[in-house]
Each structure stands twice: as structure tokens, then as C-alpha cells.
Amino acid sequence: MPAASTANSRSRPISGSGSPSWIRRVQGGVSLLAAAPDPALIPSIFQPESVPAETIHQLSLFVLAVTAGIFLVVFGLIAYATWRFRRRPGDDGREPPQIYGSNPVEMAWTVVPLLIVVVLSLATARVIQELQNAPMPPSAVEVEVIGHQWWWEIRYPKLGVVTANELHVPVSDPKERRPTHLDLRSADVIHSFWVPRLAGKTDLVPGRQNRLWIEPRRTGLFLGQCAEYCGTQHAKMLLRVVVHTPEDFARWVASQKSAPGPVPDPVAPGRRVFEQTACINCHALDGTIADGRFGPDLTHLMSRDTLGAGAVANSRETLKEWIRRPDRFKPGVLMPAMNLSDAELNQLVDYLVTLR
């Protein structure tokens, strides 16, 4: 009997109409990450597309070359000794002569590694200081990134733009540099900002301000994540960086700055639900009384590709499900389920999807 039921459950399709809805939902969420056939989306440090990442990449190749050399020498000597002094027929089994102390040999194996370590540290120190002290041109875009459990608050103080989880920056041109300078802070615990193809990791530490800059050479989407364990949903604290042409970036800024227009009549009830619910304590939304900063700014919610820092693709359906039960996508999430009635939930979602 048990064998039959196992076979039966194995032959069941994993996806499709037959599978329970939670499986389909999980797949929906996961496919965002797993079904990334585009190699450009693989966050590899060996394919840098931005200045700090390129410099770090060069340094890592140098360090790898030096350490590969050491490996070959050490491994070669071990292999040689093993072969040369192997047991042979006719060995008399006596211990070979034991030699103690040889100044030249001891000097060599102390000084050579010391020199290697010094060279590696100097090369690293040079790269660190070059990246940390790089002067930012006046054309640099300034961004504040504030880590929260488990999402990224993103503010452009000079441009008057506030968003979350999806950092938009212009592409840079060596002739006309447009780097982006990031001030990194945390609202709660230590997080780490890491977009491998754009720059090295930098921690966001409570009570401190760390800096980082990126200077992407190519437009497109780059994926990153929080790289410092920060609680249950750390794994779903993903980050998207969209690199635009300067014109597209200006267009994006303009669209994010535009205040929401008058609320169309049909969705006014949804806006009332929003304003009469605790949403406003945690979220900000321009043009309403909501000014909370515990959760992401919702002013241009539907301009984002994902909800919950990459936990699930953003659409009307997922948005509705997110508000109904946020921990379905992100167990342990710090947004509570608000227990709205179906009617209220529908009105609310009708309103939220107008926030472009």
C-alpha cells in the first residue's frame, strides 16, 4: 500500500491545474529568481559592469594568480617528494638521515611568504583607498539607501524621489561620468548592500553612515541582495538595480516626482479604506495623510516590478494577496494582515493599482 501511494504521488504533475494553489503560488514567487535564463542577470563577481566592481575584479584576478602560483609550487614539491622518495623494493627500512636547522632554508620560507603577504596587502590597500577616496564629479547622482527588515528604502534627496527595493541610476560614460553615490544606513539591524556586478559589499550599520559608489558602463537590470543575515526574511531581501540611459533616467525621475493626480471617482472608496486603516501608520503616500516610514513608500507602487523586496512579481493579483496575507509570500514579514472584508480589499486594490 505505501509503495502504491508513493508512486501515485510521484506521478502527479508538479505544476498545472492539478497542484494545490500554494505550490503554484510558491512557484510564481520562485520563478522570479529561478527562471532567470538571461545570463546578464546572474550576479557574478567575474562579470563586472561598473567601475568599483571592475577594479575589484582585477585585484581578485591578481590575488588568484599569486595564490595559484603558490598552489602549483607547493603541490609540485609535495608531488615530487612523494614520487622521488616512495618506498622501493629493497629499501632497508631504516629512517633516513634527520637534518635539523638550516639557516638559508628557514630564511627563504620565512621571507618569501612575508613578501607575498606584503605585496597582496599593499595591492589591496591601494584598491581600497582608490575606491574610497575617488572624487565624485558634480554630475554624480546622490542616493540614500536605508536597510530595513526586510526591504530597502531608497531616497534621492536632491531629486525629491522616494522609492523602495529598486534602485534606478543612469549609465556612465567615461567621457561624461555619471556615477551614483550611495549613503548607506540602517533603521534596525546590520544589512549589507551587494550587487556583485556593480560593486563590492558594504554593510549598512545602525548609527553609522557608510558610503559606496557605482558607475555602471552598460544599461540593463542588475540583481543584488542583502548579504548580511538580518532575520527570518533575510533571504527575501532582494535588490534590483535598473541602469538607464540618461534620457530614460530623467524620464523615470520625472514620473516618480509627479504628484498623484486627483483620485478618480470610481476608486475614491478604496482611498478612504486606505486612509481609515493602519496602513497610514507604516506607509507614506503622497496626496494622502499617510506619512509612515516603517514600510515602503507607496506613492508610485505600481511602477515597481516586485513586491516585498523581490518576494513576488507585482501585479493586481499578487498585490491583493499580499495585503490579504503578506506572510504568504514572506513568512514572518513585519506587515500584519489587516483582516479587511472582501469588499474593502477589492476597493483598496482598485485604488492602489492606479498608483503608477
Under a CB-based contact definition with an 8 Å cutoff, are residues 42 and 191 in contact?
no
Interface with Cu ion in residues 215-244 (CB under 5 A): 226, 230, 234, 237
Q: Which long-range contacts (CB under 8 A, 24 or more apart) does 242-246 make?
A: 242/166, 242/167, 242/168, 242/169, 243/169, 243/170, 243/171, 243/216, 243/218, 243/219, 244/168, 244/169, 244/170, 244/171, 244/219, 245/170, 245/171, 245/219, 246/170, 246/171, 246/178
Show Cβ contacts of residue 244 under 8 Å, excluding neighbours closer than 6 positions: 168, 169, 170, 171, 219, 252
Residue 195 contacts Cu ion per CB under 5 A: no
User: Which residues lie across from 137 on neighbouring strands?
Assistant: none
CB of 346 to ligand HEC, least distance (A): 12
- Compare residues 63 and 282 and give the one whose CB is closer to ligand HEC: 282
- Compare residues 219 and 277 and give the one whose CB is closer to ligand HEC: 277
Helix (H, G, I), strand (E, B) or coil at 154: strand
Of these partners, ligand HEC, Cu ion, none, which one is at the site of residue 283 (CB under 5 to 8 Å by kind)? ligand HEC
Report residue 121: phi and psi, to 5°. -70, -35
Interface with ligand HEC in residues 136-155 (CB under 6 A): 150-151
Kindly tell me which residue out of 308, 312, 318, 320 binds ligand HEC, with binding defined by CB under 6 A: 308
CB of 147 to Cu ion, least distance (A): 6
- Compare residues 29 and 296 and give the one whose CB is closer to ligand HEC: 296
CB of 307 to ligand HEC, least distance (A): 4
Under a CB-based contact definition with an 8 Å cutoff, are residues 169 and 241 in contact?
yes
Helix (H, G, I), strand (E, B) or coil at 159: coil
Among 5-13, 101-109, 180-188, 316-324, which window interacts with ligand HEC (CB under 6 A)? 316-324
CA distance 16 to 105: 69
CB of 281 to ligand HEC, least distance (A): 6
Of these partners, ligand HEC, Cu ion, none, which one is at the site of residue 52 (CB under 5 to 8 Å by kind)? none
Among 22-30, 215-223, 250-258, 270-278, which window interacts with ligand HEC (CB under 6 A)? 270-278
- Compare residues 194 and 213 and give the one whose CB is closer to ligand HEC: 194
Residue 51 contacts Cu ion per CB under 5 A: no
Q: What is the DSSP string of 9-53?
A: HHHS-SSSTTS-HHHHHHHHHHHHHH----GGGS--TTS--BHHH
Binding residues for Cu ion, rule: CB under 5 A, are 191, 226, 230, 234, 237
Interface with ligand HEC (CB under 6 A): 150-151, 164-165, 233, 274, 277-279, 281-283, 294-296, 298, 301, 304, 307-309, 319, 322-323, 330, 333-336, 338, 348
